Amino acid sequence: MSIFTNASAKATIKVTTKVTIISLVSAILFSFQLNTARAATSPEDKIKTAIIFKLTKFISWPKKTQSLTICVLGEGSINNELHKINRKNTMGRRLSVTHRNANSPFEKLCDALFIHNIDNVTVKSVLKRLEGKPVLTISDIRSFVDYGGMIGLKRSGKKINFSINNTSATNANLNINSKLLKLAKTVK
């Protein structure tokens, strides 16, 4: 009787182990699919990235260096798309795209700062620290230019429009080309 019970217990352990392994593999694959779906960029992310890249061609910074650093503050699928423009050239300068946290010394590290998926308190704090500093601030956060940000990207139907706070840019010693100002939906 004990041999039968022992064999039965071994069979149960083998089945249980197989079920556990299958469950674990399934959970890993499901998690991978979710992460892949989250990481996938949308057409909107691609358009915003193209706009950010093009914007660099219409801004004059007080000091011209060989590279132009675009810092990214915030997490989201657009980060993958923004890193695709890393090392591209714009107006004779090589782009460098880097991710930063809210406490970074942006004025020392960045020529432009793209902010997204960040709470309004942090946005206002970062903009206050950058007030008068030659860092172009860009965001897709609602009311960004009202907070003192320089360029706000906004979805309108199937289009991405932008608003410009030229006063903030001028105070930061940045010059926005008049062609870009004419393309903006609103200019402050």
What digits encode the pLDDT tens for the residues 76-101?
999 999 999 999 999 889 999 999 99
Q: Read off the pLDDT band of 63 (50, 70, 90).
A: confident
State pLDDT tens for residues 108-136. Answer: 999 999 999 999 999 999 999 999 999 99
DSSP string, 47-71: HHHHHHHHHGGGEE-SS--SEEEEE
Tokens of 179: 């062609």
87 or 11, greater pLDDT: 87
Which stretch of DSSP H or E encloses residue 28? Answer: helix 2-39
132 or 32, greater pLDDT: 132
Tokens of 181: 């100002």
6 or 48, greater pLDDT: 48
The span from the CA of 161 to the CA of 154, in Å, is 5
Q: Read off the pLDDT band of 65 (50, 70, 90).
A: confident
Check whether 156 has a pLDDT greater than 50.
Answer: yes
pTM: 0.77
Q: What is the pLDDT of residue 3?
A: 54
Check whether 26 has a pLDDT greater than 50.
Answer: no
The span from the CA of 168 to the CA of 144, in Å, is 12
Q: Read off the pLDDT band of 32 (50, 70, 90).
A: very low
Check whether 170 has a pLDDT greater than 80.
Answer: yes
Q: What is the pLDDT of residue 38?
A: 43
Lookup result for tokens 């601030």: 137
CA 13 to chain centre: 48
Q: Read off the pLDDT band of 5 (50, 70, 90).
A: low
Tokens of 115: 């902010």
